[in-house]
């Protein structure tokens, strides 16, 4: 294989977002589900994105999984590894970004590691170390109330310092970044001499990411959202390390039935469900019913089976923030979230057994649970459905499936309709 860039993503939808960004910017990319077995043919690739489900698990488990992925990536010959995190830095003070970053840094000896969740294309920018979402500080945005990883501090230097067990966190601010790659290198060297192990890097516009990418690609490790992937990919092409590749196609059409399964509770997703209801049957599940046995799962599968031959269906467990909070208060946040994810995965398996081969999934945790249950090992990247959401074709197993894995806040109001249309 010709892998020059390896990436470790802390959830499946984020992995698809990153793989899509790398593909759009000239790299042949494959997304794997976990660390693959040796018999998986990954095809000739410039970049590999290893999808983990490590964002919300105990830190020690996230560290172990990430280190295993890094060892596998290094064995492929990749000189640079990117740890892909969410562009809203979804990770509470007890979260995993700090511990994983510190461990990977220790393994490769990088100092200080460049970290930025900025992705201006999707409205995520970093200024003076503070993260903004569509020009609103993160802690004032709707994303502050994420059901699993609520974010109440926009200052990433503080957030990462609280997570990292004493690791010194520095800042490379926008004024330096605006001067270009050479200035970033100089400031990074100064921070290293002062004992800093990590540096949050401001990025406001796309050219900032390009400058950061030129510096980061020279080093063994970086941490960021898909915007950093854009910078790394463009650096590899600009320096001639990788010739620019044509965009991959999704391959031959896939037959079978089509369905959407949605577990995200974001306002954007709820609007997308409402729009989809004008075009297809929608079943709205009561979250509490999913926590008290399998009857609701069986009923959902039976409901869909009666309708699939007539066209796509959508099954949603998406409630309002108030409904979700009430269920979490009764059953516990983690227990409730896990049970709902597994219930949606069971429904997905039931639909696949009844001939569904085109599947659109909304919600990062829901996507991870479903892909795991279906036993999918890897994806080849197809065209982009919406910014950050590619069409995926499964590889390394029997019957091919076409899928889309959408984080809650991604895509426009007609996302589910558009995705299904592209899968025809």
Domains detected in the chain: 5-238 (3.40.50.10840), 257-422 (3.40.980.20)
The Cα–Cα gap between 374 and 77 comes to 30
- pLDDT of residue 32 exceeding 70: yes
pLDDT in tens, 352-381: 999 999 999 998 888 889 999 999 989 988
Q: Strands, E, within 69-123: which ranges? A: 80-84, 113-116
pLDDT for the residue 396: 76
- Written as six digits, the tokens of 155 are 């200052």
Average pLDDT of the chain is 89
Residues in the chain: 424
In this prediction, residue 249 carries a pLDDT of 56
- Alpha helices for 284-363 (secondary structure H): 287-290, 295-305, 321-331, 333-353
Q: In this model, does residue 177 exceed pLDDT 80?
A: yes
Which residues touch 240 (CB under 8 Å, ≥6 apart)?
A: none
**1, pLDDT greater than 60:** no
Q: Tell which wins on pLDDT, 332 or 300.
A: 300
pLDDT recorded at residue 353: 96
Find tokens 């080093």 and name the residue: 219
pLDDT of 247 over the 80 cut: no
Is residue 391 classed as helix, strand or coil in its secondary structure? strand
Encoded tokens for 289: 């019913």
pLDDT surpassing 70 at residue 22: yes
- Per cent of the chain over pLDDT 90 is 62
Q: How confident is the model at residue 142 (pLDDT cuts 50, 70, 90)?
A: low
Averaged pLDDT, 27-52: 86
More confident residue, 260 or 270: 260
Asked if pLDDT for residue 345 goes beyond 80, the answer is yes
pLDDT level of residue 43 (50, 70, 90 thresholds): low
pLDDT in tens, 271-321: 999 999 999 999 998 887 888 888 999 999 999 999 999 999 999 986 666
pLDDT (tens digit per residue) in 393-402: 998 777 889 9
Q: Is the pLDDT of residue 84 over 90?
A: yes
Beta bridge partners, 155, equal 130
Whole-prediction pTM: 0.81
pLDDT bucket at 153, cuts 50 / 70 / 90: confident
User: Tell me, what's the pLDDT at 261?
Assistant: 96
Q: What is the pLDDT of residue 299?
A: 95
**CA–CA distance, 71 with 149 (Å, rounded to integer):** 28
Q: Is the pLDDT of residue 185 over 70?
A: yes
What's the pLDDT score for residue 146?
60
pLDDT of 91 reads: 64
Torsion of CA 326, 327, 328, 334, to 10 degrees: -170
Coil/strand/helix, residue 124: strand
Residue 248 is predicted with a pLDDT of 56
Task: Give the tens place of pLDDT for each residue, 202-237.
Answer: 999 999 999 999 999 999 999 999 999 999 999 999
Q: What is the pLDDT of residues 375-395, one digit of tens each?
A: 998 998 888 899 888 999 998
Residue 79 has pLDDT above 90, yes or no: yes
């Amino acid at each position: 294989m010709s892998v020059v860039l390896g990436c470790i993503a802390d959830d499946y939808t984020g992995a698809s977002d990153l793989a899509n960004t790398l593909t759009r910017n000239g790299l042949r990319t494959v997304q794997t589900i976990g660390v693959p077995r040796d018999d998986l043919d990954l095809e000739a690739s410039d970049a590999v994105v290893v999808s983990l489900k490590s964002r919300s698990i105990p830190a020690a488990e996230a560290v172990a999984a990430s280190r295993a992925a890094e060892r596998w990536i290094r064995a492929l010959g990749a000189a640079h590894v990117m740890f892909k995190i969410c562009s809203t830095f979804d990770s509470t003070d007890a979260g995993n970004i700090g511990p994983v970053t510190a461990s990977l840094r220790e393994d490769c000896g990088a100092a200080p590691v460049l970290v930025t969740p900025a992705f201006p294309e999707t409205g995520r920018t970093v200024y003076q170390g503070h993260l903004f979402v569509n020009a609103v500080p993160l802690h004032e945005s709707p994303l502050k109330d994420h059901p699993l990883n609520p974010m109440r501090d926009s200052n990433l230097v503080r957030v990462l310092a609280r997570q990292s067990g004493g690791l010194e966190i520095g800042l490379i601010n926008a004024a330096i970044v605006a001067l270009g790659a050479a200035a970033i290198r100089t400031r990074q060297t100064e921070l290293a001499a002062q004992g800093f192990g990590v540096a949050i890097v401001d990025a406001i516009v796309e050219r900032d990411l390009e400058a950061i990418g030129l510096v980061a690609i020279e080093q063994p490790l970086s941490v960021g959202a898909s915007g950093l992937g854009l910078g790394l990919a463009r650096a590899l092409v600009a320096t001639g390390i990788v010739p620019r590749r044509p965009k991959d196609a999704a391959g031959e059409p896939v037959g079978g039935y089509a369905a959407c399964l949605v577990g995200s509770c974001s306002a954007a997703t709820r609007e997308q469900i409402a729009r989809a209801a004008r075009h297809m049957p929608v079943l709205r599940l009561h979250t509490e019913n999913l926590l008290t046995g399998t009857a609701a799962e069986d009923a959902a599968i039976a409901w869909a089976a009666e309708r699939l031959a007539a066209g796509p269906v959508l099954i949603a467990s998406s409630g309002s923030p108030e409904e979700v909070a009430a269920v979490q208060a009764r059953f516990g946040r983690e227990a409730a979230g896990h049970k709902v994810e597994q219930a949606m995965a069971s429904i997905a398996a039931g639909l696949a057994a009844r001939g569904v081969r085109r599947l659109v999934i909304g919600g990062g945790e829901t996507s991870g649970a479903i892909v795991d249950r279906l036993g999918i090992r890897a994806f080849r990247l197809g065209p982009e459905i919406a910014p950050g959401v590619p069409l995926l074709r499964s590889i390394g197993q029997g019957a091919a499936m076409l899928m889309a894995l959408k984080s809650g806040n991604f895509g426009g109001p007609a996302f589910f309709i558009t995705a299904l249309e592209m899968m025809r």
